[in-house]
Amino acid sequence: MLRGQGDTGGSCAFQNGLAVGPTGGDVSEQALEEQFRELLEHYKGERGALVPLLQGAQAIFGWLPEDVMGRVAEAAGEPLSKALGVATFYSQFRLKPHAKNTIRCCHGTACHVSGAPLITQEIERYLGVHPGENTEDMLFTLEEVHCVGACGMAPVVMINDRAHGKLTPEKGRAVVKEFREAELAAAADGNGDGHVCACAAAEGAAE
Amino acid sequence: MSAAQRTLVKPAPSKPRLTEPEVDIRICLGTGGVAAGSREVLKAFEEKLADTGVLAVIRPREDDCANGRCASVTGTGCQGLCAMDPLVEIHMGSNGSRSKVTYGQVTPAMVDDIIQKHILGGEPIEKWIVRTDAGPTEYDPFFATQEKLVLRHVGIIDPEEIEDYLEADGYQALYKVLTSMTPEQVREEVLASGLRGRGGAGFPTGLKWKFAAANNPEDGQKYFICNGDEGDPGAFMDCSVLEGDPHAVFEGMAIGAYAIGASIGYVYVRAEYPLAIRRLKIAMKAAEEKGLIGDNIMGSDFSFHLKLKEGAGAFVCGEETALMQSIEGDRGMPRLRPPFPAESGLWHRPTNINNVETLAVVPWIILNGAGAFASRGYEKSKGTKVFALAGKVNRTGLAEVPMGMPLRDVIYTIGGGIKKNKKFKAVQMGGPSGGCLPDSLLDLPVDYETINQTGAIVGSGGMIVIDEDNCIVDTARYFLSFTQQESCGKCPPCRIGTMRMLEILTKICEGKGTLGDIEFLKEIASQVKIGSLCALGGTAPNPVLTALQYFEEEFVEHVVEHKCRAGACAALTTYSIDPQTCTGCRACIRACPVEAISGERKEVHVIDQSLCIKCGACFEKCRFDAVRRS
């Protein structure tokens, strides 16, 4: 039964396979360190572990700081240069911190021919950032991606793990605006952060 | 292998359905369905059915329907007609006579009505019906010409419930293979079926297995890989199969591994498919627990272990040698072939790689026979193929049709023609490796050889329809910008050639191109095609070459007349308001995102060209055709 799917709501974004990052200040550094050590232990001695190690590390920290990358390289028995080479080769890896939420504007073929560029431009105007950048308040990272596989719903924009389909520039702005206002309201109420991504380590380590 | 002499345990459901609920609701939880809000609809059905107090919501494998009336709500994979997502199928009645009604674009707000009027009242709600066994609907042509072999379970069973798969003859093909066929017989059967690789290249699967079987390293280690790195933008066939029927892929892999003598398998899935990854993990665990994957499968001598590898976002990893590099933890860069993977692949061992769709149909071929598969299809392209129909077509979705069906039937009969009655311009097949085919070629059959002759390819099955509002130069530029970004950079023809082609196409889209540029484009394209190391570079020029072959006049128009007939190239497009027609309704003013339009109510509005970003919002919005595009 697919009932379990319901729990993928919320901002626990590693369920995307694309970690959005630690979302609040509640996760102690110690807890992250603990998860990281478990990850390194899990892949100890395994061949071809560099990519899953980097994926797991990113799921824990939200991005790949230099010292983390160094320890991953060491665990994989590879020089740091190779870890960096691999991390820069794949588009999934982030070498700078990520904002709390990720907006991914799909630029697959179906989305492109249905007007995706105009939607992205509209969201860029609304947030005041270009793809690849974080908003100043670190609420949003805007990304342009190649195909999220929901072509029947084109054009599509994903906010964290939730897809919004059949958009126009107007609707695109509206869904982002609605989400942003809900985030700001939640933050004002004092419960907008701390959605701990407890799933991250488990998912990241799954093999 | 002495499996045949042993008594093997025949796979069977261990938790059969205790009851057939009076109301059986199946909701599409594929990526498209979820994007359209199907999870909320599923929840609404569960809650509101329970609220009625008339029907108990049960799980048919767990609960008996002791108190008379009960209902079950099940999530399935993609049901196909994505345009109408979320789709909800309602099966009702006692065992003897059951009715089936499918509703489309269901929202939680509609659930109460469906329960009260249809489920409790017995009167289906006509206006929301997509399909019913009570009579024809406008959507019937979408389903009528399809034949589902690959998608036989997708959209029907619950992909997270192995019992569902087992009940639908799951793992029976593997049982048949292990009890009554030698590896050679399996290879011959698949070869005789005429099955060709569905990833795009169309190489005969049985032949591939023969090559891998012929190479036996000293340590006996071989690998079997499922390529689920469906990277073509605009393609979601493999995504739907992985999400909707993961066990069929595992079963196909196990059969293939038996046929070539591999004991370890990898399922490589792109990271952008989180739902597929989640369901594969669940399915893998269930199959291992039941002894259908792992050591001594079903009690035989055959052992096959599976691992899941998540891609990390690189289109080139769909290329087999790059994919193996990626599994080894490296940058996914292709290498020269030979040696082919069948000889030296993953960790220098003989390796076989097949695409998701190819593997999912293997169990069907084993159970139904090579002849049944080969009897479908066209000349050298046997069986059926799944296509992902998207873009400017009315009925977007996933369609499986016998190979050889004319393109026109796919687009107009299944796809229901072009959105908003616009004029068809082209169908893009094969993604960044394929091309755009014009109306004059729509009567061609979908067949590997025929489509190859046009300059496009059947590819993995993405079919994107574009209309008169899409610019062919912009479309070619789009694909080049994709391949240029995704080029791994190893070989110069691809790394530099795609960049140069992109620059020229951008120049033409900006109205700065020359006729010489068009010639230069053709020259670079032909060199990149022959000079590149792998198929990414080798096929990257295809979108440009086909665009030039069939639509050269549009390129010339951009260059000579500085005109984009589709109005898609911003630099060549001007929007203005016709003072005679403008009613002064202010609709365009409200629609303009950059406040470039001014004018009082009931007075003629004016666009400030220095502020206009050419987004076309005013053009779309004006009900009086007062906004003109030139």
Chain B residues in contact with A154 by the CB 8 A cut-off are 390-391, 396
Q: Which among B271, B347, B464 has CB closest to A110?
A: B464
pLDDT at residue B329, rounded to an integer: 93
CATH number for B574-629: choose from 3.40.50.150, 3.40.50.720, 3.30.2130.30, 3.30.70.20: 3.30.70.20
The Cα–Cα gap between B344 and B327 comes to 15
Assigned architecture for domain A101-188:
3-Layer(aba) Sandwich (3.40)
Chain B residues in contact with A163 by the CB 8 A cut-off are 31, 34-35
- Has domain B472-561 been given CATH number 1.20.1440.230? yes
Instruction: Determine the distance in angstroms separating the CA of B340 from the nearest CA of chain A, rounded to an integer.
Output: 20
CA angle B271, B432, B310 (to 5 degrees): 15
Instruction: Determine the distance in angstroms separating the CA of B333 from the nearest CA of chain A, rounded to an integer.
Output: 9
Chain A residues in contact with B74 by the CB 8 A cut-off are 1-2
pLDDT at residue A77, rounded to an integer: 93
Does the pLDDT value for residue A175 go beyond 80? yes
pLDDT at residue A162, rounded to an integer: 84
Tell me what percent of the residues of chain A surpass a pLDDT of 90.
64
Q: Which among B313, B475, B613 has CB closest to A113?
A: B475
pLDDT at residue A205, rounded to an integer: 33
Give domain limits for chain A.
10-96+195-205, 101-188
Q: Which fold has domain B23-134?
A: Glutaredoxin (3.40.30)
pLDDT at residue A201, rounded to an integer: 33
Q: Nearest-CA residue of chain A relative to B396?
A: A152
Chain B residues in contact with A161 by the CB 8 A cut-off are 274
- Higher pLDDT: B504 or A150? It is B504
- Has domain B377-467 been given CATH number 3.10.20.600? yes
Q: How confident is the model at residue A195 (pLDDT cuts 50, 70, 90)?
A: very low
Give domain limits for chain B.
23-134, 162-373, 377-467, 472-561, 574-629
pLDDT at residue A203, rounded to an integer: 36
pLDDT at residue A9, rounded to an integer: 34
Contacts 24+ apart (CB under 8 A), B527-533: B527/B493, B527/B497, B528/B493, B528/B494, B528/B497, B528/B498, B528/B501, B531/B491, B531/B492, B531/B493, B531/B497, B532/B491, B532/B493, B532/B494, B532/B497, B533/B334, B533/B335, B533/B336, B533/B490, B533/B491, B533/B493, B533/B494
Contact pairs from chain A to chain B, CB under 8 Å: 196
DSSP calls for A54-73: HHHHHHHHSS--HHHHHHHH
pLDDT at residue A191, rounded to an integer: 56
pLDDT at residue A26, rounded to an integer: 57
Structure tokens at B148: 């589902």
Selected for mutation to probe chain A from B130, B331, B393 (highest A CB count within 10 Å) is: B331
| A88-129 tens-digit pLDDT | 999 999 999 989 999 999 999 999 999 999 999 999 999 999
> What average pLDDT does chain A have?
81
CATH number for B162-373: choose from 3.40.190.10, 3.40.1390.40, 3.40.50.11540, 3.55.50.30: 3.40.50.11540
pLDDT at residue A193, rounded to an integer: 47
- Sequence-distant (≥ 6) Cβ neighbours of residue B207 within 8 angstroms: B191
Counting as low any pLDDT under 70, the low residues of chain B are 1-6, 67, 94-95
Does the pLDDT value for residue A21 go beyond 50? no
Beta strand ranges found along B441-596 (DSSP E): 462-467, 575-577
Angle, helices B246-260 vs B274-289, to 10°: value is 60
pLDDT at residue B357, rounded to an integer: 97
Helix (H), strand (E) at residue B204: none
The Cα–Cα gap between B478 and B492 comes to 21
pLDDT at residue A11, rounded to an integer: 34
**CB atoms near residue B180 (< 10 Å):** 10
Top-level CATH class of A10-96+195-205? mainly alpha
Chain B residues in contact with A89 by the CB 8 A cut-off are 314, 331-332, 488
pLDDT at residue B349, rounded to an integer: 96
Helices assigned H by DSSP within B127-201: 140-144, 162-167, 172-180, 183-193
pLDDT at residue B95, rounded to an integer: 61
pLDDT at residue A10, rounded to an integer: 34
Domains B162-373 and B377-467 share a fold: no
User: How much is the average pLDDT of A151-178?
Assistant: 91
